[in-house]
Every structure is written in C-alpha cells, then in structure tokens.
Amino acid sequence: MKALFLDRDGVTIDYIPYLSRPEQVSLPEGAGKALKQWQNEGYKLVIVTNQSGISRGYFSEEDVKAIHQRIIEEYRRFGVEFDEILMCPHQPSDNCQCRKPSPSLILNYTKKHDIDLSQSLFIGDAPSDIQCAFNAGCQPVLLLTGRGKETKEKLSESQSSIPIFENLSATVTLAIVTKNIVKYNIN
C-alpha cells in the first residue's frame, strides 16, 4: 500500500498561525478535488501535524479534535476520506520523539498499515515537513502555499530537485504520472 502524507496548516487547510477554532478552517481552492484524485489513484490520505499550541496552552487537545472533525467534514463533501490524522501536541522544548522532523509518527503508522514508503509521498510547506519525509524515507514534495515560499529559499543544494508545486491541485500530476515513483535526491 502507498500513502500520501500531508501537512495540515498551509497544505490541507489555509495557513493561520495557531489556528484554534473550527470556524477558522478553510480549504485551499481545488484541494478537495485534488485529494479525491490522489485517493482514486490508490493513496491512503494521512495528515501529519505538529500542534505545539496545545503544549503552549494556546488551545486544548479538544479544540484541535474539533478542528480535525471540521476538516474531515469539509473534505467529505468531495468524497475524500482521511485514513488518519497523526498529531504531535508538543513544543520543541519538550524534546519529544513525535515532533516533525522526526519520522516517528509516519513510521509507526506505516508499520500498523503495511505502507510502502518508497511508493509514498509527503506534501508539506515547511522545512520540518521536507526533513520528515527524508527521515522517513518517502518522497518530499514542497507546496508554495502557507510557508512554502520561505521554505523554498531554505532548501539546500542536495534538496534542490524536490518537486515544487504552486498548490495542492497542481500535485495531482504526480499521482497520475507516477505509478512507480521516481525518487528525487533522497539521501
């Protein structure tokens, strides 16, 4: 099986720093149709998100669950079903093992669901997303939404051939043309 791992803020929903209420959830234009196409190509859809606002006391885990429920409901209107939402509630100073760029959330998920990471991708907009993909052994893809333009400037020379797309809709070409994914500089 293959999976499409997705960052939450700036990828599956519009970027709002420390988003704390379900009514703030807004899907990027064309994202519903795009994820439906990925799903139709046989990818399990999995959101992987750092939510340090919980540890920082900005909002509760219940607030985040309500936000995730809203995301699930919004995407269901397009026939999109997420297999799981993986979340780290810690801030960097907590020194946990689950915060991206650590691959532990992805690796634990792949063991439980028999996912082939060599056939899987991680679409993100932050350096931690790109590094998490490398650390997990799956294909990173950078979106220029959210913090993506800033992240593009920070890519190292060895990461310069990572596929970069303007938005989630544009990534669908990867789902359709890469039945067998070609790796891009995964070291």
Positions marked active-site: 7, 9
Question: Using CA atoms, how far apart are residues 122 and 3, in angstroms rounded to an integer?
Answer: 8
- Report DSSP state, residue 74: H
How far the first Cα of the chain sits from its last, in Å, is: 22
